[in-house]
Amino acid sequence: MKNALGIILIFVQFHLVFSQPFEIQNIKFHLGKEKVKEKMASYHFQDKTLSTFFHYQKITINKKYEHIGEFYQIQCTEKTYGYELKINNSKFNRIQLKISLLKDEQFVGGGEQFSHVILNGHKIPIWVEEQGIGRGDQPVSKFTRKFGISGNEFTTYAPIPFVFSNKNRGIFCTSPNYQILNFENLKEWTWEIWDSSATFHIFYGQNPKEIIQNFTLINGRFQKLPDWAYGSWLGLQGGKQKCDKIIEELQKYEHPISALWIQDWVGKRKTFFGSRLYWNWLPNEKYYPNFKNYCDSLNQNLNIKVLGYINPFLAIKGSLAKEAIQKNYLVKNSKNQPYKIKAGGFKAYLIDLSNFQTREWIKTVIKTNMIQNGLSGWMADFGEWLPYSSKITNGFSKNFHNQYVMEWAKINREAIQELNLDTSIVFFNRSAYNYSAKYMNSLWAGDQMTSFQKHDGMPSALTGILTGGLSGFSVNHADIGGYTNLNFWITKKYLRTPLLMQKWTEMSAFFPIFRTHEGLIPQKNYQFYSNDTAMAHFTLWAKIHYNLKFYFQKYIHEATETGLPVIRHLLLEYPELETSWKTHHGFLVGQDLLIYPNFGNEKTEVFLPKESWYCINNQQFYSDGYYQFQIPNILIFVRKNTEEFEKLKKAFKP
């Protein structure tokens, strides 16, 4: 009888958690006039309220509801996944919902967030922009703030207006406009949308996985990776001779190279900020003579794919810019002239993706200059730089800004699909918004500093991947070793060290894509090819990554079918454990691998949840609980109760 009563109580408690609906306390409409400062895709918003109206009637979102006012309409309807809430008004340009918080409720999501997993206590803007340099880490932020490019703890390339909580309820807004999620109040939170209409999808589920699956049914799910994608992607610059030499050296170590990623296939330019690419999307014959033959030779003789780079900018003096000016394909300034945008050491034009003809033109560039020249993939960079004050062909730039990144991903996917190469060519993005996911192969974490600092170093890359996974970005990776360098005498120098490269390599071996980057100042950074020790260490972890191909493929397939991420925060697999919601420095790969990176520390504290775990480092089993390890390396645990236990153990014996 006692056991039966316990079962009933557990069921009742579960049912209450599962069924508690969102309760909207009131809806505020107001007319606002914004003031926006922008510099190098970093934005600062201020808003002035001109008039206000409140709808005070509470709305509990677990049934149909409709209210028609003098100038507004609120409608809630039931759907297979939960509910849909639509709000329209004809008088105001701001909508704000005040939503009750449940006791001890914690929210996650909001897109790729680099500083915080738990959103409570914070105000999160939903606006696609540069992540910034420093983002609050000192002393670098004191320096970059002077130039207006420091960012902050909430600036991100890939925000998503979707959140869910430990009470098994989630909500997603489809508006492309600027939004603010404010969780600073402990009893209620507000959602503000700078729009005259807004549609919300509300999800209730038994666990976070179910909520993410329902959300990604609407928002979209990632494309699969081709079979060749699980080896090392060598990020190199400097021309054919250098690339051939490094490949030859790595082959001596029997390194599993699957791709050569050459950003500078288009050539380079030097700026005060570092080495930058020349944004005219044609092969540079000086760096890579007979470019197509070179790509074909690597592919056929060494089974190495060649990857390139593209973004929606055009070099001002390039041949493509001249053509785009003639055909009126560029974003305009207030004087209706092609907008010359400062892009870190030089200026460039941005193509107008609201124009159908521009879209078709840039797809032809991708097909002709990239795919037909032998490229098997590329980094589809940028997307977050459409100026707030610019002019576009269709609509207003401030309403199209967030949508621009989705359109950029869509164009890249369509170019591949129209050549029937969807299963063999990949591209990866750093910026994204609503509906981007269904066009992408992978999101990468962007331009972190070459440091161990929390907000803009190696730890922030992991935080971004974890939060991205909780927001529907299910296939993620990062530049091995980081990207952003500073080498000025007036601030601390940030250059990649051997220790940073070692630790970042180890962490990246457990991401689906194992890709290097030479960084902003390649000649100053420690590289995987700097010496024999570097090459041996890099090869060791490349082989481990390649040995895990079977495991990555399993969860890539699951990601495309369910929207669940490959790299998982503990709360996804163990949502009932309070500690899972507090542990942010480790991650799961699928269900059976638990990884704790080392961020340059002598020891690491780990939490092992609810299972028996086998430690690869010391060949010992551990039960659930907290442990301190003095091992200054990445810590690897395999879940004992898995069918693939022996196979996973074997993967770490390259």
Task: Supply the pLDDT for residue 19.
Answer: 54
Closest C-alpha among 528, 554, 565, 573 to residue 442: 565
What's the rounded mean pLDDT across residues 497-523? 97
What fold is seen in the domain 227-307+355-389+396-557?
A: TIM Barrel (3.20.20)
What fold is seen in the domain 2-219?
A: Immunoglobulin-like (2.60.40)
Task: Supply the pLDDT for residue 17.
Answer: 42
- For the chain, the first-to-last Cα distance in angstroms comes to 55
Structure confidence by residue, pLDDT tens digits, 434-483: 999 999 999 999 999 999 999 999 999 999 999 999 999 999 999 999 99
Pairing mode, strands 197-204 and 268-271: unpaired
Please say if the pLDDT value at position 263 is more than 90: yes
Mean confidence (pLDDT) of the chain: 95
Please say if the pLDDT value at position 523 is more than 80: yes
CATH of 567-651, one of 2.60.40.1180, 3.40.50.720, 3.30.465.10, 1.10.3720.10: 2.60.40.1180
| Neighbour-count burial of 35, counting CB atoms closer than 10 A to its CB (0-12 exposed, 13-18 middle, 19+ buried) | exposed
Structure confidence by residue, pLDDT tens digits, 93-103: 999 999 999 99
Q: How many alpha carbons fall within 13 Å on the CB side of residue 109?
A: 28
Residue 247 CB partners (closer than 8 Å, separation 6+): 234, 257, 260, 302, 304
- Between CA 267 and CA 285 the distance in angstroms is 9
What is the 3-class SS of 372-405, one letter each residue? CCCCCEEEECCCCCCCCCCECCCCCHHHHHHHHH
Pairing mode, strands 593-596 and 587-589: antiparallel
Residue 598 CB partners (closer than 8 Å, separation 6+): 503, 506, 604, 632, 633, 634, 635
| Domain range annotation of the chain | 2-219, 227-307+355-389+396-557, 567-651
Structure confidence by residue, pLDDT tens digits, 350-379: 999 999 999 999 999 999 999 999 999 999
Structure confidence by residue, pLDDT tens digits, 378-429: 999 999 999 999 999 999 999 999 999 999 999 999 999 999 999 999 999 9
β-pair partners for 604:
629
Please say if the pLDDT value at position 164 is more than 50: yes
Percent of the chain scoring above 90 in pLDDT: 93
Closest C-alpha among 131, 129, 126, 130 to residue 192: 126
Would the CATH topology of 2-219 be identical to that of 227-307+355-389+396-557?
A: no
Closest C-alpha among 592, 601, 604 to residue 639: 592
- Between CA 134 and CA 143 the distance in angstroms is 9
Using DSSP's 3-state secondary structure scheme, residue 639 falls into strand
Structure confidence by residue, pLDDT tens digits, 294-322: 999 999 999 999 999 999 999 999 999 99
Structure confidence by residue, pLDDT tens digits, 616-633: 999 999 999 999 999 999
The H-assigned helical ranges of 308-355 are: 319-326
Task: Supply the pLDDT for residue 400.
Answer: 98
Closest C-alpha among 157, 151, 153 to residue 111: 157
